[in-house]
Chain A
Amino acid sequence: MSAHVAHHFDDATQQAHSATLGMWLFLATEVLFFGGMFLGYAQYRYLYPHAFAEGSHHLDVVLGTINTGILLASSLSVAMAIHGAQLGHRKTLIRLLVVTIVLGIAFLGIKAYEYWHKYQEHLVPGRRFDPHVPAGEAAPPPEMELFFSFYFTMTAVHALHMVIGIGVMIALVVMASRHRFSAEYYTPVEMSGLYWHFVDIVWVFLFPLLYLVG
């Protein structure tokens, strides 16, 4: 029995299987956590399709597309990092984890820029909400504010998950540089990878639903 098997497990296989099942159950809770917001979004969009389309036109599709590409690339780098860990290539693992962190920060940077832009356009819901109406055009429907409520809540909760993910990746880099992982034991890398991919999947749904409405 190797040193990294905890006392209450019989062997490494049982331990790894438990970790995988546990992580997937945790991700199931995340599906339902985000799902609650998607549910609200779906019902309101059904009730107010024009207001939601109007709100969506205020978002920058180019930045959204770039950000989606960045996240998909980060998922590839995480998958390759795990591949490196499986082969016991410590340097590859660390390098790819760092790439992932950089991509994650780039995503958050672009997101922050978008938030700042929306703030300047008075599109943050609440008392300051006051969308600019070009001369000669009709005022947008009041329910547009709901669209931005969902835009900000959903992307902020997603961004919070990104921040946690980046923190986890940094911890993995530290652990990897201290020779904590080997071809026999890399469960933390794998579990964190699952989390990262999941956060990516959330964005895969957020992007078309928020940026590409009608």
Chain B
Amino acid sequence: MSEKIVPPKTYYLVFGALLVLLMLTVAAAEIPNAALATTAAVTIAVTKALLIILFFMHVRYSSGVTMVFAAGGFLWLAIMFAFTTSDYLTRGERPFEHEQPPVTATTDTQGEMQP
């Protein structure tokens, strides 16, 4: 096999970093601002995932095609998230509202969907 052999020290360092990030994510849950807390949680999770993918899963030492394949699934997931979210974020809004008589039911639905 032409696979590069990674020294165990790298694995231990990565594991240490993962445990530190775990502590960090538990601590970050105490952030009072909900949006900020979620951003922190997701950022830490992405960092942990990257560490695992790059080092434990050897992507850092792999061929370019492997890297593209490894990234591909996540890229497609991002596409799915982006377009679906574009629906949920703008649902209930009416683009040409000024041309219509005000409809009270519309604002009600909106309030219900986005408490």
| Majority secondary structure of chain A interface residues (helix, strand, loop or mixed) | helix
Whether A12 and B22, one on each chain, are in contact in the complex, defined by CB atoms closer than 8 angstroms, is no
Whether B11 and A47, one on each chain, are in contact in the complex, defined by CB atoms closer than 8 angstroms, is no
Inter-chain contacts of B34 with A (CB < 8 A): 49, 53, 214
Q: Which residue of B lies closest to A30 (CB)?
A: B73
Instruction: In the complex, identify which listed stretch (A31-39, A99-107, A127-135, A164-172) lies at the interface while the others stay far away.
Output: A31-39
Inter-chain residue pair count (beta carbon < 8 A):
144
Q: How many residues of B contact A (CB 8 A)?
A: 51
Within 8 Å by CB of B5, from A30, A68, A83, A204, lies A83
User: What is A's interface to B at a CB cutoff of 8 Å?
Assistant: 12-13, 16-17, 20-21, 24-25, 27-32, 35-36, 38-39, 42-43, 46-50, 53, 61, 65, 68-69, 72-73, 75-76, 78-80, 83, 86-87, 183-187, 190, 193-194, 197-198, 200-201, 204-205, 207-209, 212-214
Q: Which residue of A lies closest to B113 (CB)?
A: A47
B63 interface hit (Cβ, 8 Å): yes
Shortest beta-carbon distance, A52 to chain B, in Å? 10
Q: Which residue of A lies closest to B15 (CB)?
A: A76
Of all A-B residue pairs in the complex, the 3 with the closest CB atoms, nearest first, are: A28-B73, A31-B73, A212-B29
B104 interface hit (Cβ, 8 Å): no
Inter-chain contacts of B114 with A (CB < 8 A): 46-47
Inter-chain contacts of A35 with B (CB < 8 A): 73, 77, 80-81
Whether A61 and B26, one on each chain, are in contact in the complex, defined by CB atoms closer than 8 angstroms, is yes
Within 8 Å by CB of B8, from A53, A83, A209, lies A83
Whether B11 and A32, one on each chain, are in contact in the complex, defined by CB atoms closer than 8 angstroms, is no
| Majority secondary structure of chain B interface residues (helix, strand, loop or mixed) | helix
Shortest beta-carbon distance, B105 to chain A, in Å? 18
Whether A21 and B66, one on each chain, are in contact in the complex, defined by CB atoms closer than 8 angstroms, is yes
Contact A13:B45 (CB < 8 A) given known A21-B69, A83-B8, A201-B52? no
In the assembled complex, the Cα of A205 lies from the Cα of B88 at a distance in Å of 22
Whether B6 and A32, one on each chain, are in contact in the complex, defined by CB atoms closer than 8 angstroms, is no
Whether A204 and B48, one on each chain, are in contact in the complex, defined by CB atoms closer than 8 angstroms, is yes
Inter-chain contacts of A12 with B (CB < 8 A): 1
Q: Which residue of B lies closest to A56 (CB)?
A: B29
Inter-chain contacts of A46 with B (CB < 8 A): 85, 88-89, 114
Shortest beta-carbon distance, B42 to chain A, in Å? 7
Inter-chain contacts of A76 with B (CB < 8 A): 11-12, 14-15, 56
Whether B73 and A208, one on each chain, are in contact in the complex, defined by CB atoms closer than 8 angstroms, is no
In the assembled complex, the Cα of A20 lies from the Cα of B76 at a distance in Å of 20
Within 8 Å by CB of A83, from B6, B22, B26, B113, lies B6
In the assembled complex, the Cα of A68 lies from the Cα of B15 at a distance in Å of 12
Q: Which residue of A lies closest to B41 (CB)?
A: A208
Inter-chain contacts of A75 with B (CB < 8 A): 15, 18, 52, 56
Q: Which residue of A lies closest to B72 (CB)?
A: A28
CB within 8 Å of A: which B1-31 residues: 1-3, 5-6, 8, 11-12, 14-15, 18-19, 22, 25-26, 28-29
Contact A39:B73 (CB < 8 A) given known A72-B22, A80-B11? no
B65 interface hit (Cβ, 8 Å): yes
Inter-chain contacts of A32 with B (CB < 8 A): 73, 76-77, 80
